[in-house]
Amino acid sequence: MPDKVVRDKVLCYIVRDGKLLVFRHTDYSWEEVGVQVPAGSIRAGEAPEDAALREAREETGLSNFSIRRKLGEAEYDISPYRFELQHRYFFELELHEQAPERWMSQEDHDGQGEPTKFECFWIPLEAAHVLQSGQGALLGRLVD
């Protein structure tokens, strides 16, 4: 088995009126990629807080976010999908603009390759256990 690469990641919990902002990839089936929260890699020299705000903007197409609080950190082994151990920073973000119940968005990957298409929508916080790949690990801290 190959050695696992360790990657620093951020995950964003954005809650409004008791609902969590999630998305699905429109180019893949639910069975392949599930439902996710805005998340992604921390770039070299980037603070986790800045990465969280950037990823939320890139994946939702919305722009007016702020960090409400850091919820904690956790490790997640994403094998066998990739031989990667993710060190995850979880943040609660606040959205300071209107957003519909459902909308299309895309991440352009800084102009590298094809954009990734998303459908963004809100689900009841109580149903957020459906998040893929351990993304719901620190949801319980939202009610602390």
One-letter amino acid of 90: F
Q: Which element (helix H / strand E) includes 27?
A: none
How far is Cα 30 from Cα 28, in angstroms, rounded to an integer? 7
pLDDT at res. 81 = 78
Q: Who wins on pLDDT, 79 or 12?
A: 12
Query: Hey, what domains does the chain have and what are their CATH numbers?
Result: 5-143 (3.90.79.10)
Reported as a pLDDT band with limits 50, 70 and 90, residue 56 is: very high
Q: What is the pLDDT of residues 73-116, one digit of tens each?
A: 999 998 887 889 999 999 999 999 999 999 999 998 777 889 99
Q: Which element (helix H / strand E) includes 29?
A: none
Q: Quickly list H helices, 39-119.
A: 48-60
How far is Cα 121 from Cα 72, in angstroms, rounded to an integer? 24
In the predicted model, is pLDDT for residue 2 greater than 80? no
Reported as a pLDDT band with limits 50, 70 and 90, residue 1 is: low
- Residues near 16 by Cβ (< 8 Å), separated by ≥ 6? 95, 99, 122
pLDDT at res. 108 = 87
In the predicted model, is pLDDT for residue 122 greater than 80? yes
* Average pLDDT of the segment spanning 29-53: 95
Average pLDDT across the chain, whole number: 94
